[in-house]
């Protein structure tokens, strides 16, 4: 009997060239498929909800694959798989999903968090999981700028040059900054994202806040559909795919 297995997956993206399988590069999908192949005795493909970039982390990625192994309880698939995975990738939970479930196409919302560390000296054990900036930005100004992105917009301005999306229209449901421990956290949730959109938005917001530019000026840049109007992109190391939401 073939079953559709759904997994919640976490990984430290530092040593990976992103999620998606690539030739001659280590990827999260590649490591998981190699482990699944060893378990099944034949190739098994896993579909991920989000194609995180090189260096981006995940605490709540979702993937699904079809398995003809009937000896493993679907609720224990994550435990079985972890014994074949390297220590920087872990399946956190598993279950059997309906045959029609697809981790990417069934997703209704993807939630990311980005961690900023403000201070003169950053703790070395956090250096791979946040972006250290040497100032304390104004949270009120950051949130006023972030509100520009709420709703449905065309995001050509904030798409990487190599983005191949046929449409760059996306709906952003959440975009806000708040303190969390020693960090300022940027949380953004959307139906989906164009390539490197979160990092481009964050870098631009910080640039506009530092220059005391208005939300109206940022809204004009968004409407311009001109990549040159965006600021620098934030580095990958502070970004986490936190959660993927589905109907029900």
Question: What amino acid positions are annotated as catalytic residues?
Answer: 53
Distance in angstroms (rounded) separating the CA atoms of residues 86 and 89: 6
Contact status, residue 116 vs residue 131, Cβ threshold 8 Å: yes
d(CA 124, CA 154): 38
Contact 15/198 with Cβ under 8 angstroms?
Answer: no
Other Cβ atoms within 10 Å of 229 Cβ, number: 17
- The CA distance from 115 to 186, in Å, is 7
Beta strands in 83-168 (DSSP E): 89-97, 107-118, 131-133, 151-154
CA distance 69 to 37: 12
Burial group, residue 77, by CB count within 10 angstroms (0-12, 13-18, 19+):
buried
Supply 203's token pair: 């870098």
């Amino acid at each position: 009997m073939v079953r559709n297995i759904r997994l919640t997956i976490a990984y430290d993206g530092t040593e990976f060239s992103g999620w998606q399988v690539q030739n001659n590069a280590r990827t999260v999908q590649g490591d998981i498929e190699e482990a699944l192949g060893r378990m099944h005795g034949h190739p098994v493909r896993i579909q991920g909800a989000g194609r995180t970039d090189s260096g981006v982390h995940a605490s709540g990625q979702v993937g699904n694959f079809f398995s003809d192994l009937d000896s493993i309880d679907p609720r224990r698939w994550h435990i079985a798989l972890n014994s074949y995975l390297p220590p920087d990738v872990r399946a956190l939970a598993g279950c059997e999903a309906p045959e029609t479930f697809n981790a990417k196409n069934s997703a209704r919302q993807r939630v990311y968090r980005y961690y900023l560390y403000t201070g003169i000296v950053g703790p070395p054990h956090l250096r791979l999981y946040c972006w250290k900036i040497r100032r304390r930005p104004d949270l009120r100004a950051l949130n006023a700028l972030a509100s520009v992105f709420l709703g449905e917009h065309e995001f050509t301005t904030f798409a990487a040059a190599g983005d191949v999306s046929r449409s760059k229209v996306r709906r952003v449901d959440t975009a806000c900054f708040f303190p969390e421990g020693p960090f300022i956290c940027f949380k953004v949730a959307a139906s989906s994202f164009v390539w490197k959109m979160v990092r481009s938005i964050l870098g631009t917001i910080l640039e506009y806040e530092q220059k005391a530019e208005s939300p109206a000026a940022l809204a004009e840049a968004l409407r311009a559909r001109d990549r040159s109007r965006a600021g620098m992109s934030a580095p990958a190391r502070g970004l986490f795919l936190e959660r993927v939401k589905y109907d029900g």
